[in-house]
Structure formats: C-alpha cells, structure tokens
Structure 1
Amino acid sequence: MAKQGYHHGNLRQALVDASLKLIEEKGPTGFTLSEAAKEAGVTPAAVYRHFQGREDLIAEAARQGFEIFADVMDHAYNGGHPSALAAFEATGRAYLAFARKFPGHYVAMFESGVNIAGHPELARAANRARATQEAAAAKLSEHLPPERRPPAAMFAAHVQAMSHGIVELNARGRPGTRAPFAPEDLLETGIGIYLRGLGLLPPDR
C-alpha cells in the first residue's frame, strides 16, 4: 500500500509524509532515513533520488509547513476584523490552531534545528509567514511615539516566543502535559499584559 505513491511518481511527497509521521512519533532527530524509506515503502537508496540526507528531507517538510502556516496567518489577519487589535489577536489564535492541527510540520519548522538560511525555498516560505506577523505588529503599534515603539520584527518575535511557550506547555495535546489553563486564554492574557506594558491597552482598573 505504501509503495503506491512511488508507482504514481510521487515518491518525494511520500517521503515527506513519512518523515512527518515519524517526527510526530519520535521527534526530528529520532528517526533515520532508512526508517523514512521503510515508512514510505521504498528502499533507502531511493531516498537519495530526491533528498541529500535527513536534514534535506526535514527542510522540505518545514518548507511545506511554512507555506501552510503563511496561508493560515494571512487568512487570520485579513479576516475583516473591526480593529488592528482584533486582527493581531486573530494571528495569535491562528498560531495555536496551526500547532494543534499540524504537529509534524510545526516541529520540523521550529524545533528541528534545520538551517533555514541554507535552504533558499524554505527561507522564502518562512519569510512570507513572518511578514504577516510583522505587519500585524506594525499596524497595531503605529500610533506609538517612535521612541516607545519596538521594531515590528521584535514585537512579532516576542509574541511568537509567547505563543511557542504556550504550545510547549500544552505539548501539542499529548496526554498528561496540558497546562491548567486553555491555550487561547493563556495567550490572550499574556498578550494583554505585553500590550499594556507598551501602552497599547489601558491599564486594568
């Protein structure tokens, strides 16, 4: 059954799908190319027709993940929100939803240690995803005085770090690892504290 993709000329994608399954089960460094080949139903030698090695295979999984992620973030940000704050918060929720729905891609993208700069197509996909997050941050903070306005890239990175931490607290839904609060609630309150610190939200009374 697994070899069906190969006979239809789709060995490359079959190997990516196999790697995503193994990443979910064992982590990005917990499997070999031979295991990926076995999962895809081909010989280990067949892998090298499409990938130089395991990092190259994981990089392609990450690239595909960033393409999906960029589309998800674009859709969230451009959803006809009533305010810049609502649009910004939507991108945060989209981040959590992506991690939940695409755990293999998420790990390949953010936890595999793959050299993004060393893979031009991966870098382009990652930059497209990052651009939406930075646009949301820039729009939300554009009315701050320049001396109090963080660079959009830093602003976006702070929120991404917060989002990533929340994903890890919930371990992408694995039993026994959930935080005592819903991920969306943690993110909303964390963003609220951050934005109040910047003066973008009024203080709590």
Structure 2
Amino acid sequence: MPKRGYHHGNLAQALVDATLLLIEKKGPTGFTVSEAAKDAGVTPAAVYRHFDGRDGLIAECARQGYEVFADRMEEAYARGLPSAMRAFSETGRAYLEFARKNPGHYVAMFESGISVTRSPELHSVATRANGVLERAAAALSEHIPVEKRPPPSMFASHIWAMSHGVVELFARNSPGTNVAFPPEDLLETGIGIYLRGLGLIPPDS
C-alpha cells in the first residue's frame, strides 16, 4: 500500500488528519503515536520529524481547530451586527455548530488537557477566538448600569461554560442524555434566563 502521507506531499498534515480521526474514535488519550503513523501511511519514526510525540500532534490539531473556530466566531459576530443582542446570540450558535461539525478539533482544543500556552502560535489563535465572545459580551453589557455590570471576561466565561455544558451533555449523542429539545433551543433558553437575570431582556409577561 502506498504511503499516503508522502503521496500527497504533506506528511505533517497527513499525521494531523489521522490524529483527528483517532481522537474522534478513541479520545485524546486512547491512541498511540504508532497508530497515528500507521493511519497516515508512514513509520513511527517519521512522526518525530515534525512533532515531539502525541501531545505535539494533538496540540497542532488544537491550533488548527482554533483557527477555524476563531473565523467562525468572527463571522457569526459580524452576522449579528448592528444588534449587540443578536451578535451575542450568533456566537453561541456558532459554538454549537463548530462542536458538531469538528468533533476531533473540539476535543483537542477543550478536552485533551493540552494547554493553550504550550506554544505562542496556539496561545495567539486561542486568544483571538476567546476574544470574540468577550467582545460580544462587552458590547451587550454596555446596556447594564455600571454598578451592576459584570466584567466582560466573567460574562463571557459564564456563556462559554453554558455552551460547553450543552455540547457535552446534549450535542454529542452522549448515552442516556436524550432530551426532547434541540441543543440550540437549550442554549438559547439558558442564555435567555441568564440575560433576564442581568436585566438585559424583560421578564416573560
């Protein structure tokens, strides 16, 4: 069988692609460097020409994921403007969409234990992605009286945590967690309750 990594001329990317599939199937700790190499059609020694081991492979998966994620979040934010409320809501939907369409990247980014400070490149793109939600939160929080206004980073972290929880429990077909509502509806209503608590939207009549 031909070595697929060399066949299309980009061994490093072939290894990343193989790793993403293994992460989807087995989780970030359920595979070895040898398995990634085998699936890419190369020898295990070839991996170390580009990466320092499994963590290096996963970190590159995370970096590439953050690149896509940041782009999607920025597009979603822009799509909602000029309404700060709509821009904020669009970023939440973009989070769910990314997790659903890019499970290997998502796990590498948020569930692998790889720190975003592992490399300057990873830290830079993660900061860009995280900054979109914080920017959306800051714009929306301008409608809250100053004395009641949470820091934008806290505001963004609350929504990030809620989004991540919906993904983990309901958007990834976890056994025993089927509910009668789509994940998007769960997130939207949860955010609505949160925003009502902050006085950003009126209570239900």
Q: Given the two structures, how large is their TM-score scaled by the length of structure 1?
A: 0.95
Residues 30 and 2 of structure 1: is their aligned pair in 2 closer, same or farther, counting only changes over 3 Å? Answer: farther
Task: After TM superposition, list the pairs within 5 Å mapping 1:23-34 onto structure 2.
Answer: 23-34=23-34
Give the equivalent residue in structure 2 for 1:96: 96
Partner AA of 2:38 in structure 1: K
Deviation at 1:2, TM superposition (A): 6.6
Q: Which residue of 2 aligns with 1:127?
A: 127
Please name the residue that 2:203 is paired with. 203
Measured in 1, the distance between the counterparts of 2:192 and 2:143 equals 17
Residue in 1 aligned with 2:65?
A: 65
Structure 2 unpaired stretches of 5+: none
Shift of residue 7, structure 1, vs aligned partner = 3.5
Which residue identity does 2:50 align to in structure 1? H
Residue 112 (structure 2) aligns with:
112
- Residue pair 1:67, 1:125 contacting (<8 A) in 2 also: yes
Runs of 4+ in structure 1 deviating by more than 6 angstroms, as ranges, are none
Deviations 1:82-122 (A, max 9, x none): 51111110110000000000000000000000021122111
User: What residue is the counterpart of 1:56 in the other structure?
Assistant: 56
Structure 1 unaligned spans of 5+: none
Q: Equivalents in 2 of 1:40, 1:177: separation in Å?
A: 34
**8 Å contact kept, 1:169–1:179:** no
For residues 145 and 80 of structure 2, the distance between their equivalents in structure 1, rounded to whole angstroms, comes to 27
Q: In the alignment, which residue of structure 2 is the partner of 1:42? A: 42
Deviation, 1:168, is 0.9
How far apart, CA to CA, are the structure 2 residues paired with 1:14 and 1:7?
Answer: 10
State the one-letter code of the partner of 1:68.
V
In 2, Cα distance between equivalents of 1:84 and 1:97 = 20
Q: Distance in 2 between matches of 1:2 and 1:190?
A: 51
Q: Is the 8 A contact 1:58 1:108 kept in 2?
A: yes
Q: Among all aligned residue pairs of Structure 1 and Structure 2, give the percentage whose two residues are the same amino acid.
A: 71
Is the CA contact (8 Å cut-off) linking 1:15 and 1:37 kept in structure 2?
yes
> Following the alignment from structure 2 to structure 1, what is the Cα–Cα distance between the partners of residues 166 and 103?
14
Contact 1:196 1:202 in 2 (8 A): yes
CA contact (8 A) 1:100 1:173 kept: no
Q: Distance in 2 between matches of 1:78 and 1:9?
A: 36
1:149 is aligned to: 149
Q: What whole-Å deviation, never above 9, does each CA across 1:2-37 have from its counterpart, x for those lacking one?
A: 723324430000000001000000000100101110
Code of the aligned partner of 1:183: P
CA distance in 2 between counterparts of 1:52 and 1:23 reads: 17
Q: Secondary structure at the match of 2:172?
A: helix
In structure 2, distance between residues paired with 1:157 and 1:104: 23
Is the CA contact 1:2–1:39 (under 8 Å) kept in the aligned structure 2? Answer: no
**Counterpart in the other structure of 1:169:** 169
Distance of 2:70 and 2:164 partners within structure 1: 16
Q: What is the DSSP-based 3-state SS (H/G/I as helix, E as strand, rest coil) of the residue aligned with 1:172?
A: coil
